[in-house]
Every structure is written in C-alpha cells, then in structure tokens.
Amino acid sequence: MRVIVPLLMKGPHNERALRGRKTGTVSRISKNVRLGLMILLAWAMPMAATAAPFAAFVMDARTGQEIYAQNADTRLHPASLTKMMTLYLAFNAIERGQVRLDSKFLVSSHAASQPPSRLGLKPGQRIELRYLIRAAAVKSANDAATVIGEGLAGSEAQFGAQMTQMARALGMRNTNFRNANGLTTEGHYSTARDMTILGRRLFYDFPQYYSIFSRRSADAGIATVSSTNRRFLDSYEGADGIKTGYTRAAGFNLTASAKRGSKRIVATVLGGTSTAHRNTVMAQLLDAGFGKAPTRVREVKPAPPQLVAEKKVRRTVQVASVAPSSPGSASSQVQLSASDRPVARASTAAVVTPAAISAAVSRAQAAAAPAPRAAGDTLAASARPNRKPGAGPVANAAVDPNVLARAARPAARPEEGDASEALAPAAGDEIQAVRPTPAPRNDQSASLVEPAATGSASLFVQAAAAQPERMALLGTPAPAPRSETIILAALEPDHGAPEATEIVSRGSGSGKGWGVSLGLYRSQQEAEQLLLKTALQESASLGSAVSRVANTKRGFEANFVGMSKETAELACGRMAARQQDCKVLGP
C-alpha cells in the first residue's frame, strides 16, 4: 500500500510524474515515425531513379503526318502494346484464308504458364481463335496472345521473327519483337512513333475487326473479360481504342485513337507513372492534336505492306540418247547426261531415269506391230510430227541420221518448263520418210511416266523392230514438292540482326549547352505535365530542345535543355509573355 497509494493520490508531485511519462511516450513514437519515414524514403529513392523513360507521339491518322513528338524514336519496352502486332498478324492470317475465326488452337504448357494478366487456359485445351482474339485485345491476356503466336507460326520464337518482318514492312524501323505478349525480354523493344504507326495500320488495314478495341467487355469462351482501357474510353470524348500496356520496366503505356468531326488522331504514351497520369497526358496530347490538325485534308490511306513470297526452284534437265553398243549391233545402250540450271517455275513432268527409259523402250518394241512394207523401206523413229507429210509413203526413202537428230530437238521453247511442246525439225530441213505408225491411244504401256492427276502430257516413244542408229529423247524432271510455308519478307533489304536494346533512363542533370528552367515543383509528375503542356504550346520556339526533370534537394526542376543561347532566350521570352515563369540556363 505504501507504493500504490502515493501514486493514486492527487498532488503536484504526482501530476508532474504523470506528465513526464506521457512526454516520454510521445517522444518515442515520434522517433519511430521519423525512422519509418527515412526507411520508406530510402526504399523509394532507387524506384524513382530507375523510373521508365517517358516518350510520346501524336499523329493525324488521316494523313500519317506528325503533330507532336517527344523521345519518339527512343527504344523502350512496349509491354502489352506488343499485342497489337499479334492481333495484326492474326487478322492478316484470317483474311488470307490461313485460319478461320472458329479454328481451334491447342494450348501448350508454355502458353498456359504465362504470368498475369491471363485468361486461365489449361495445357492441352483447345479454344477457338475468336475467343483468343477477344481475350488478347480486351483483357490483354498473356496466355491467349502466346497461344495465337504458337498456333500461327509453330513456336513463339518463329512468331516473333514474323512480327519483326511485318513491322519492317509497315515502316516500323526501330522495333524488334521476341514474344507475342510483350513481357519484358532482352532484345524486345519499340518506340512511341512505331506503336502509333501500328495503331493507325490496325484502323485502316482491318476496319472490320477494329471495333474489338472499343469493347468494354467480351465473351472469351471460358469467361467474360473486362477491358483494361475502359477508364479512358469512358472519360475521353470520341475515344474508340485501342490498347494499354504495363510492366515495371515499361511503366504505364497507351496507344489511343479518337475521332471528332472529320478529324481522327492517333497517339502513344510510353512510361507513364500511373494509370491516371497516363490517361491525363493522353487526353492533353489528343486535345493538342485536334487543335493543330486541319479540318479539311485529303485522306491518304497507308499502302498495303510490301511482302513477297521467296521461293527458289532448281530443275535438272536430263537428256537421254540411245546409241549402239558396237558398230552394226542392233542392241542399244542408254546414256544419260544432266545439267543444272535455275528456272522460273517447276516442271509438271516426273523424273525420267535411265531405268525408266530402257523399260519404256522395251515395252514399246514389244507392243508395236510393224506393218507390211516394200522391200528396202526403212522406218524412221521420230516424235509425233506437227503435220502429216503431204506426199504420203515414198518407197526406198533413205533418212539421214543427222537430219533425224536435228528433228528430235525442239525448234522453239515458248515457255520454259513446258514438256508438252511437240518436237519439230529445224527450219529448211526436208525429211522424206514413210508415215510413222500411230502411237497406241489407249495403251499406256509406252509412257515413260504415269499420267499426272492434273492432266499433264505424257511422253510416248514410237519404235519398230529395226531401230535407227541414233535417237534423241528429251525428258523433263518432276517439280520439287511444293512447300506450304510462306516466307514473309519486306522488300526493304535486311541489314542483319537488330541492334542491341538501349534502355534510356531519365537524366538528372540539365545537359550541355543552353537551356530554360521552368522552376521547382513538389513532384516529378507535376514537373512532367508542365513540360508537356509547354512543349505543345511552344513547339515552334523550342525546336529540338529536350525536356528533363532534375531531382534536386529542393524539389523537381522542370528544364528544357540542348538549346543555343538565342533559342533559349527566345523561348523564355515567349513563355514570359504568357505569364510562365522561366529562367535561361547557361552552359
């Protein structure tokens, strides 16, 4: 009781003790709060230093003309904006007849294991292409995009190569794709300009499918998915697409298209700090685009992508000749010579081999029945003549072997590779011989090859018991099996492997040369928005100046750098006239 009672008793001494204890407790809490804030700041500083670079590009969709650009050709991570190219190739395959919307694609283990956002596909599952397109376009599902790529090209790596080839054909010069969904991968990059070009292409090249990008939700077969872009579509007047994207390395990306009156503007933002920041900047860019774009302009639609199917065919021309094994001998030897030469298109005849020639000659000799002739007559073997001899049979007509050899050669080849051309004698030669025995019409035993299903002509050999000393046979080989693979390549020459990806980070200094400072601000986002607004208003006076946000101890400084002294003074003077605080920075 001696200890407890004094503490419970009221008095000046006890009240001071209680106040001291309360003050100590508050002091400890304050210290803990300050320590926590310091830890949080230390953790956030590296995040700010490695923030994704910002880039923007605005285009008049009717003409493809640039309206505004900031870091437009800087190679950055496109994130899920990649799926625009995936869908472009899917639409292209449908229009070419390669696949249909109801074609079912097999889900691989690799596709099913992709990280979110996902549709939730399972390995071994089969799903229609229409549902994959909806999931990739509306929900930005990574597994659905991967299934599309693997289903169209066989593997994601091959599909990435096709995506890059198509990008080159569309004029996207600073883009390289490695996957179908846009997840961060080394060597996978694009630019704000290239993504804007692709957005315009989707609108003009596939208007029948473009509406998928304006849907707020869609039936994806196994689930109903919601749009990742619905906030911007609902908040901006005239917006009708097209695609969002986000990864930690890329930031918040968006390619958007909007129409007001006769004007249509397409723009891209890369490296936004949040969804709200990205949408706000995009709204400002589109507003500026509608303000600067002319009301009346001649629409210039993009030309079709310049793609060719590359296919090289080589043909082996085999010429067989029948020569006697010894002088005066009736038996013959087949000699075959071959030569390689490139041809424009493949032949339709089958390959003529020495064994086939020998067998055909033997069958023809056995099948042909010689007609009665006068003594001393000689039968000449030749290909089917172009016209019948006018004089009919001539007794005791001798045939010069040299003339016969010339007659066995074709007089002209109007179309290379045509095996049905008749063998005619050279101009000026006169051959007097008995009328040859007609070849059997219904007996295919004399054919060197089986008749093709396409109705191509067969080569027949006419022979009698007595063979001439020399007889030339002209054969053409069969075409190489046609490949179903279509190799897509841009007409623009390939300059080799793409350059290594250069990821650009925001600079912290004012750069070299002269510049203009717009003052200090509490947040980086506030400084960036002011720079963007000023760049849109003063694009003529700023020229090629680069916007930079310098992170200083006093705050975030908004600067334009890379200017000459005259340009900096002129730009600052124009800003001051608009009541915008500014200061010229020296080198």
From the annotation, which residues make up the binding site for substrate?
A: 243
Q: Residue 285 and residue 199: Cα distance in Å, rounded?
A: 16
80 catalytic, yes or no? Answer: yes
Q: Residue 532 and residue 538: Cα distance in Å, rounded?
A: 10
505 catalytic, yes or no? Answer: no
DSSP calls for 424-443: -PPTT-----PPPPPPPSS-
Exposed e or buried b per residue across 433-472, where buried means at least 16 C-beta atoms within 10 angstroms of its C-beta: bbebeebeeeeeebbbbeeeeeebebbbbbbbeebbebbb
3-state secondary structure of 264: strand
User: What φ, ψ does residue 66 adopt, rounded to 5°?
Assistant: -70, 135
Q: Residue 343 and residue 476: Cα distance in Å, rounded?
A: 12
Residue 572, CA distances (Å) to 91, 529, 562, 563, 577 in order: 49, 18, 14, 12, 9
Residue 513, CA distances (Å) to 137, 519, 558, 566 in order: 45, 18, 16, 11
Active-site entry in 108, 117, 139, 140: 140
3-class secondary structure for 172-224? Answer: CCCCECCCCCCCCCCCCEECHHHHHHHHHHHHHHCCCCHHHHHCCEEECCCCE
Q: Looking at the DSSP assignment, which residues form a beta bridge with residue 460?
A: 447
Structure letter (DSSP) for residue 2: T
Instruction: Determine how many CB atoms are found less than 10 A away from the CB of residue 209.
Output: 18
Torsion angle (degrees, nearest 10) of CA 287, 526, 543, 168:
-70
Q: Residue 494 and residue 487: Cα distance in Å, rounded?
A: 14
Q: Residue 582 and residue 324: Cα distance in Å, rounded?
A: 103
CB 85 within 8 A of CB 189: no
Active-site entry in 83, 117, 227, 263: 83
3-state secondary structure of 521: strand
Radius of gyration of the chain (CA): 41
**How crowded is the C-beta side of 191, counted as CA atoms within 13 Å?**
21
Angle at 477 between CA 476 and CA 482, to 5 degrees: 130
CB 560 within 8 A of CB 550: no
User: What φ, ψ does residue 45 adopt, rounded to 5°?
Assistant: -60, -50
Q: Report the length, in residues, of the chain.
A: 587
Residue in 427, 421, 391, 385 with CA at minimum distance from that of residue 406: 427
Q: Residue 347 and residue 330: Cα distance in Å, rounded?
A: 34
**How crowded is the C-beta side of 148, counted as CA atoms within 13 Å?**
38
Angle at 190 between CA 189 and CA 192, to 5 degrees: 145
Binding residues are 243
Active site positions, annotated:
80, 83, 140
